[in-house]
Amino acid sequence: MEARSIVVVVWMLLAPALVAAQGVPGTRKSPAGWPAVAEVANQNALGYSREVIARIRQMNEIELRAGEMAQVRAGTTEVRRYGRLLVADHAGADRGLVDYAARKLGMQRGPREEIPPFDRELMAQHVAATERLATLSGAEFDDAFLSMMVSDHQSAVSLLETARETVDDPDLRTIFKKVLPILRQDLWIAQTLLGDVG
């Protein structure tokens, strides 16, 4: 009788611990549910990659529009050439991302004009800034354009540095590693030209 009581007590003490160790199926706390956990983790990783790519594509769209405007409205030849460089750099970066997204994430390829903005508020701010730029020309345009490029590229470099360390897929990380030095060069050129203009 006494032994039986001890067994019951021990079982009553251990049972909650064993149940707690099982955790909730389909989550990280469920060793028994690792296939489900892996699927959930994978979905989370894919979702994060999609989010990062959408942000970068929106950023590319903004720089492309500004670069195209600079080729027409810039006051100096260097700023006009910088506009062309920006368009080529960001179009190239966008192509790489679109290829990756179509291949790995099943995202549809679409022309630039059909990209839905990821952050509508940010996009609205940039549209307003671009409309302001469109009213300027010559040295005023150069100053406003280059200031915008410096702040935009600082944000872009920061975004890609974070994304490079946090995305799961090594292919995507490789893309970011190739694009990041190009963005830093574009930032350097904008800062140098801004110093010349200022």
Instruction: Name the site residues for other proteins (rule: CB under 8 A).
Output: 77-79, 81-82, 84-85, 87-88, 91-92, 178-179, 181-182, 185, 188-189, 192-193
By beta-carbon proximity to other proteins, the closer residue of 22 and 185 is 185
By beta-carbon proximity to other proteins, the closer residue of 50 and 173 is 173
Beta bridge partners of 74: 138
Please report how close the Cβ of residue 22 comes to other proteins at its closest, in angstroms. Answer: 49
Please report how close the Cβ of residue 111 comes to other proteins at its closest, in angstroms. Answer: 16
Which helix (H) or strand (E) segment holds residue 171: the answer is helix 170-197
Instruction: Report d(CA 99, CA 108) in Å as an integer.
Output: 10
Instruction: Report d(CA 93, CA 180) in Å as an integer.
Output: 10
Q: Which 3 state secondary structure label does DSSP give 111?
A: coil
Please report how close the Cβ of residue 106 comes to other proteins at its closest, in angstroms. Answer: 25
Please report how close the Cβ of residue 175 comes to other proteins at its closest, in angstroms. Answer: 10
By beta-carbon proximity to other proteins, the closer residue of 37 and 59 is 59
- What is the token pair recorded at 41? 């983790």
Q: What is the secondary structure of 45-99 as a DSSP string?
A: HHHHHHHHHHHHHHHHHHHHHHHHHHHHHBSSHHHHHHHHHHHHHHHHHHHHHHH
By beta-carbon proximity to other proteins, the closer residue of 84 and 104 is 84
Please report how close the Cβ of residue 81 comes to other proteins at its closest, in angstroms. Answer: 4
By beta-carbon proximity to other proteins, the closer residue of 135 and 192 is 192
